[in-house]
Amino acid sequence: MTDPQTIISADHLIAGYLPGVDILNGCSMDVKEGELIGVIGPNGAGKSTFLKALFGLVPVREGKVQLRGEDITNLKADKLVQRGIGFVPQTENVFPTLSIEENLEMGAYQAPKTYKAQRAKMYDLFPVLGKRRNQQAGSLSGGERQMVAMARALMMDPSVLLLDEPSAGLSPDRQDETFVRTRDINRTGVTVIMVEQNARRCLQICDRGYVLDQGTSAYTATGQELLADPKVIELYLGTLGADKDDEDDAGAVVAPDATTEKSE
């Protein structure tokens, strides 16, 4: 029996896109209610595949995904949305020919009665979206699209939010904004599982991190512990940030960190 506090658990997932080619080779994870989880790992470790397997977008061949103890393995995405899981893809995460407002309406497609109230909440959370509600989402910048995508995923008031590399392709200050916003969303009680390339920034804000390697969850610890772990530093964080000799590079990496510490 799973821990009553456990909201999502993945048990030895084996999954892949093509028959015979497994990307995940026994990946496990236990997430407690209200946690902010960061999933890091090198390119090709299966981070995004893991997130997609949780959300039924990649067929799970073996293993089990549970939501509050109920088996949700391989359920269709629309059923998972109904059960309170939201997903924000990394790219192509808005409907380009629909307006911002229509994008949000689609987010509440399964619960049209709550649409207006949720929309008002989203415009509070992302005021810029409210001001530009009739603008076509296809004309927005990457950062703005990311906001629309997050707002759309939050329209169903999910208990779990899955984010696939929310900072990818954004400028450093926009990346910071995204991380801070993710933390804010998590503080309203939403459990967040985020996959990130930007391991350092991700571990700084998350409660707990999972390190994925070659399709298995190598280990887990709190964000701070992983940040200090020499093996993680060597393999995934790089030593650039600690390199005091190269001032330019060190500055580039350290500066955004400093801003977030202030804002948190």
Partner 1 sequence: MRNADHAGPKARHFPLRIALLSTLTVAAITVISAVPAQASQLATEVADTAGGTETNLLLQNLLNGITFGLLLALASVGLSLIYATTGLSNFAHGEQVTFGAAAAFAAVTAGAPILLAAVFAVLAGGASGWLQDTVLWSQLRKRRIAPMQQMIVSIGLALAAVNLLQIWMGAQRVRLSTSIEVRYEFGPVSIGPQTMISMAVCIVALGAVGFFLQRTRLGRATRAVSDNPALASATGISVNRVIRIVWIMSGSLAALGGVLLALYENTSDFSAGARILLLMFAAVTLGGLGHPFGALVGSLVVGIVAEVSTVFLPTPDLKYAIVMGMLILTLLVRPQGLLGRKERVG
Compute the C-alpha angle 66/70/71, nearest 5°: 60
Residue with tokens 């236990």: 30
Tokens of 180: 């801070």
Instruction: Indicate the residue among 21 and 258 with the shorter CB distance to partner 1.
Output: 21
Q: At its nearest, how many Å lie between partner 1 and the CB of residue 31? A: 19
In the chain, which ranges are E strands?
6-15, 24-32, 36-40, 60-67, 70-71, 85-88, 160-164, 191-195, 208-213, 216-222
Instruction: Indicate the residue among 98 and 235 with the shorter CB distance to partner 1.
Output: 98
Q: At its nearest, how many Å lie between partner 1 and the CB of residue 99? A: 9
Stretch that binds partner 1, among 8-16, 35-43, 129-137, 238-246 (CB under 8 A): 129-137
Q: Does 81 bind partner 1 (CB under 8 A)?
A: yes
From CA 56, how far away is CA 4, in angstroms rounded? Answer: 23
Q: Does 76 bind partner 1 (CB under 8 A)?
A: yes
Position among 22, 35, 105, 229 found at the interface with partner 1 (CB under 8 A): 105
In 121-233, which ranges are E strands?
160-164, 191-195, 208-213, 216-222
Stretch that binds partner 1, among 33-41, 106-114, 116-124, 206-214 (CB under 8 A): 106-114
Residue with tokens 């509050």: 68
Stretch that binds partner 1, among 8-16, 98-106, 180-188, 213-221 (CB under 8 A): 98-106
Tokens of 75: 């359920």
Q: Does 208 bind partner 1 (CB under 8 A)?
A: no
Signed CA dihedral, 139, 154, 93, 79: sign only: negative
**Could you give the 3-state DSSP secondary structure of residue 158?**
coil
Q: Does 57 bind partner 1 (CB under 8 A)?
A: yes
Q: Does 233 bind partner 1 (CB under 8 A)?
A: no
Write out the binding residues for partner 1, residues 137-196 only, by CB under 8 A: 138-142, 152-153, 156, 169
- Helix axis angle, 100-107 relative to 115-125, nearest 10°? 120
From CA 81, how far away is CA 74, in angstroms rounded? Answer: 13
The footprint of partner 1 on this chain (CB under 8 A) covers a number of residues equal to 36
Q: Does 96 bind partner 1 (CB under 8 A)?
A: yes
Instruction: Indicate the residue among 76 and 231 with the shorter CB distance to partner 1.
Output: 76
From CA 262, how far away is CA 42, in angstroms rounded? Answer: 29
Position among 75, 98, 168, 235 found at the interface with partner 1 (CB under 8 A): 98
Contact predicate 193/161, CB 8 Å:
yes
Q: Does 17 bind partner 1 (CB under 8 A)?
A: no
Applying CB under 8 A, the residues found at the interface with partner 1 are: 55, 57, 76-78, 81-82, 87, 89, 92-98, 102, 105-107, 109-110, 112, 131-132, 134-135, 138-142, 152-153, 156, 169
